[in-house]
Structure 1
Amino acid sequence: MLTIKQITENTEAVLRGLEKKHFKNAKETIDQVIALNDKRRSTQNLLDKNLAEVNSLSRTIGQLMKEGKKEEAESARARVAELKEGNKELDAVMTQAATEMQNVLYTIPNVPYDEVPEGIGADDNVVEKMGGMETELPKDALPHWELAKKYDLIDFDLGVKITGAGFPVYKGKGAQLQRALINFFLDEARKSGYTEIMPPTVVNAASGYGTGQLPDKEGQMYHCEVDDLYLIPTAEVPVTNIYRDVILEDKQLPIMNCAYTQCFRREAGSYGKDVRGLNRLHEFSKVELVRIDKPEHSKQSHQEMLNHVEGLLQKLELPYRILRLCGGDMSFTAALCFDFEVYSEAQKRWLEVSSVSNFDTYQANRLKCRYRNADKKTELCHTLNGSALALPRIVAALLENNQTPEGIRIPKALVPYCGFDIID
């Protein structure tokens, strides 16, 4: 969440940023935060003043008694009692103001960087780069859901029987391809210096609030109500929360972690062609990159993550493009975000496979994730994450773009992991 310092010292800049993100009632909300902060601070000042008076009077009571000034001592005791009773009320007022302020802060999105373009939605995103291999498919090319059926790779109907729509069953070489991609992505991350983490796939509410999924995305998360736990929508949540309430040392940064997990998203309201086959699932596999860094190095970290994801797509021989997201299409928590999309030749459309984001101090402030700088003062860290990669649409593009009359060709980089070079 935004810090009070950001809001009070750079109010106009914050309002401009929130306008770029199309946050409704920005001025009213920021004014409310400032008013609650003023109330909290003024109450705290009065409380501190009263506590100082209590301490001063308490020190004099004994001396007054020694000097035989019993009436003055009793008067001082009465004043102490009065102040203590008033302090209880002041403390309650201050706590309530702080709680209300925190709750309002949770509803305010992150402020985008200046380099984030203006825009309302996906049509306003800026194409930064295009790359990869062009594909030429047979005239009778099939979409991946037909290929999955033809080669007995994925059973969507069986997934409906066992669970419901959006929970496919991978079979045979389809399951082997999934596992091959997971191992390939993890090995590539390790080669780039990332430490592998195997986190839980359910988290508590504090973890959801720490990375910003709560309260913003509460309706999109699967909630285990009896235990008040949430199925993770991405490994970002448990891995970043490793550093909640932690003070790191300067020399530990940047921290670079990766994790493979199953991910769960309700995707409420999704319908139409976007949900065919693997295009949009409720459960899917993903390898995530997470970095914790110093503010002055986070932009370099972000670029290194972008380079890593681009390298994966190049090794998979897929046509891709990189988009700089506009303010209106960015996530609630991101300050800067780039999406990677692969082209599906059979569907004639682009499929998003990764978002690589810099959150500045927004998540770190929620998490209370700090580090000691060279002057031994504590500062908020910057957090970053990105998919490297999400499997469903990668699988869809691999199946569709590599279909030949003989079968589905496997990219060279994956052959050692799959144990086969063609699906026939």
Structure 2
Amino acid sequence: MLDIKWIRDNPAAFDAALKRRGAEPQADSLIALDEKRRAIVQKAQEMQSRRNAASKEIGIAMGQKNAELADKLKAEVAEIKTSLPAAEDDERRLSAELNDALSRLPNIPAADVPDGKDEHDNVETRRHGTKPGWNHKALEHFEIGEALGWMDFEGAAKIAGSRFTILKGQLARLERALGQFMLDTHTQEHGYLEVQPPLMVRDDAVYGTAQLPKFAEDLFRTTDDRWLIPTAEVPLTNLVREQILEQEQLPLRFTALTPCFRSEAGSAGRDTRGMLRQHQFNKVELVSITDAESSKAEHERMTESAENVLKKLGLHFRTMTLCTGDMGFGSQKTYDIEVWLPGQDTYREISSCSVCGDFQGRRMNARYRDKADRSTKFVHTLNGSGVAVGRALIAVVENYLDEDGSVTIPDVLLPYMGGLTKIEKAA
């Protein structure tokens, strides 16, 4: 959430930032709403002050045997007591209206984010490795998986409907190996603390990470009004909600391997074959909590941690800086890591790493105490995929396809595979 004080002080910069996001200017309407709220707050405070003063004056008047003045003052206090609740109700209503309006505004893009409308305006920052050079035909992951007999989409559809996959045998083992490898890499080499968080959360948690109120249709809700997590970003980031941390405690770095649940609203007809876009998938998430000065450097560090996973797997990828029109709602700046998929003959996102500034910290009321002046400031938050396990499986299967239809297992995964060196056709 953005700071209304900053908007009041920087209306032109705020509207310019919204324009970069492709949104209409809103500074004037927000400031007008805030003026109304502030006027009501001042009115209520003046009424409370006058009530307190009049109550003291009643005591003085009675002590002076001035019954007429005392009665007049009592009538004034009674009138204030009658009017004050209405003013307080107006204050609560206007505060809620302002907070709701602020909660629906996207984050301010960083100055170095390229301007643009959509993914076509993203800018390549770097790339690693080269595309595999083969003599045999490249295949898509679902063609490979079904031919091997370890990937079942029809069976999943009978059980759960579209956008689900059943992995069996050696491919199920490979998917598990990928997740464990990623967790070990991030905890042992990159300094993240492993967490096993809840998979269902309350309204406050998804509000804190900005999925609510704007993106409720993208989520699944339980019958008891909890939300299935769309990503472990939600519970991991909320680990610091409503706390005041010491600056010396920062940065905090968390990682988790969890199922993720997404309705995929608005994606009808996109990636309907295979397991690229699923209602349920596993992902290793990275979350960092930092002070204001460290978040930019932490963003680079987090992105490098995700890239390192792909380097260890021997996969070719490129890292893109997203333009203003393609960034997520809560992000100040985002890097997308896109892995090469030979079967599709294209790059596809496998990780997205974002720095959010104090956007989420403000929504969660998560703060830290500055060690220099002991003032409290909102924490900065970052999140990234480290990486999407299902998409990593797709990338490994497509990039390590052998001419005979088997899949060679990358060396770094062999310790997790129980002696298997290849994924071969089911007997």
Code of the residue aligned with 1:277 in structure 2: it is: G
Relative distance call for 1:273 and 1:43 in structure 2 (3 A) is closer
Partners of 2:31 and 2:394 in 1: CA distance: 49
- What is the Cα deviation at residue 156 of structure 1? 1.0
- Which region of structure 1 is more displaced relative to structure 2, 243-252 or 357-366? 243-252
1:412 equivalent to 2:424? Answer no
Query: Are the equivalent residues in 1 in contact too, given 2:178–2:392 (CA < 8 A)?
Result: no
> Any gaps of 5 or more consecutive residues in structure 2?
none
Query: Are the equivalent residues in 1 in contact too, given 2:164–2:275 (CA < 8 A)?
Result: no
- What is the Cα deviation at residue 71 of structure 1? 1.6
Partners of 1:417 and 1:293 in 2: CA distance: 33
- Which region of structure 1 is more displaced relative to structure 2, 381-390 or 37-46? 37-46
- What is the Cα deviation at residue 270 of structure 1? 2.2
Code of the residue aligned with 2:12 in structure 1: it is: E
Partners of 2:64 and 2:5 in 1: CA distance: 50
- What is the Cα deviation at residue 274 of structure 1? 2.6
Q: 1:297 maps to which residue?
A: 294
Partners of 1:301 and 1:111 in 2: CA distance: 18
1:11 equivalent to 2:17? Answer no
- What is the Cα deviation at residue 272 of structure 1? 4.4
Partners of 1:96 and 1:269 in 2: CA distance: 33
Query: Are the equivalent residues in 2 in contact too, given 1:235–1:288 (CA < 8 A)?
Result: yes
Q: 2:349 maps to which residue?
A: 352
> Any gaps of 5 or more consecutive residues in structure 1?
none
Q: 1:200 maps to which residue?
A: 198
Q: 1:90 maps to which residue?
A: 87
SS at match of 2:300: helix
SS at match of 1:309: helix
Code of the residue aligned with 1:399 in structure 2: it is: V
Q: 1:261 maps to which residue?
A: 258
- What is the Cα deviation at residue 273 of structure 1? 6.0
Relative distance call for 1:349 and 1:275 in structure 2 (3 A) is farther
- What is the Cα deviation at residue 253 of structure 1? 0.9
Partners of 2:27 and 2:148 in 1: CA distance: 56
1:139 equivalent to 2:136? Answer yes
Partners of 1:142 and 1:331 in 2: CA distance: 31
SS at match of 1:130: strand
Query: Are the equivalent residues in 2 in contact too, given 1:20–1:327 (CA < 8 A)?
Result: yes
Aligned 1:23-422 pairs, distance under 5 A: 23=23, 26-27=24-25, 29-191=26-188, 192-224=190-222, 226-272=223-269, 274-374=271-371, 375-406=373-404, 407-419=406-418, 420-422=420-422
- Which region of structure 1 is more displaced relative to structure 2, 180-189 or 47-56? 47-56
Code of the residue aligned with 2:114 in structure 1: it is: P
SS at match of 1:111: coil
SS at match of 1:321: strand
Query: Are the equivalent residues in 2 in contact too, given 1:216–1:332 (CA < 8 A)?
Result: no
SS at match of 1:258: strand
Code of the residue aligned with 1:208 in structure 2: it is: V
- What is the Cα deviation at residue 408 of structure 1? 0.9
RMSD of equivalent CA atoms: 1.3
Query: Are the equivalent residues in 2 in contact too, given 1:137–1:345 (CA < 8 A)?
Result: no
Partners of 2:363 and 2:388 in 1: CA distance: 26
Partners of 1:78 and 1:15 in 2: CA distance: 49
Query: Are the equivalent residues in 1 in contact too, given 2:201–2:235 (CA < 8 A)?
Result: yes
Partners of 1:398 and 1:138 in 2: CA distance: 18
- Which region of structure 1 is more displaced relative to structure 2, 287-296 or 246-255? 246-255
SS at match of 2:227: strand
Partners of 1:301 and 1:359 in 2: CA distance: 11
Query: Are the equivalent residues in 1 in contact too, given 2:131–2:340 (CA < 8 A)?
Result: no
TM norm structure 2: 0.96
Code of the residue aligned with 1:91 in structure 2: it is: E
- What is the Cα deviation at residue 232 of structure 1? 1.1
Partners of 1:294 and 1:267 in 2: CA distance: 33
Paired positions, count: 420
SS at match of 2:288: strand
Query: Are the equivalent residues in 2 in contact too, given 1:339–1:354 (CA < 8 A)?
Result: yes
Partners of 1:380 and 1:245 in 2: CA distance: 10
Partners of 1:292 and 1:335 in 2: CA distance: 15
Query: Are the equivalent residues in 2 in contact too, given 1:222–1:266 (CA < 8 A)?
Result: yes
What is the CA deviation profile of residues 373-422 of structure 1, one whole-angstrom value per residue up to 9, with x for unaligned ones?
12221111111000001012211110011011352111111111123221
Query: Are the equivalent residues in 2 in contact too, given 1:287–1:389 (CA < 8 A)?
Result: yes
- What is the Cα deviation at residue 317 of structure 1? 0.3
TM norm structure 1: 0.96
Partners of 1:123 and 1:353 in 2: CA distance: 17
Query: Are the equivalent residues in 2 in contact too, given 1:222–1:230 (CA < 8 A)?
Result: yes
Query: Are the equivalent residues in 1 in contact too, given 2:136–2:403 (CA < 8 A)?
Result: no
- What is the Cα deviation at residue 271 of structure 1? 4.3
Partners of 2:42 and 2:50 in 1: CA distance: 12
Query: Are the equivalent residues in 2 in contact too, given 1:137–1:401 (CA < 8 A)?
Result: no
What is the CA deviation profile of residues 283-302 of structure 1, one whole-angstrom value per residue up to 9, with x for unaligned ones?
10001001111010101111
Q: Which runs of 4+ in 1 moved over 3 A?
A: none
Code of the residue aligned with 2:422 in structure 1: it is: I
SS at match of 2:294: helix
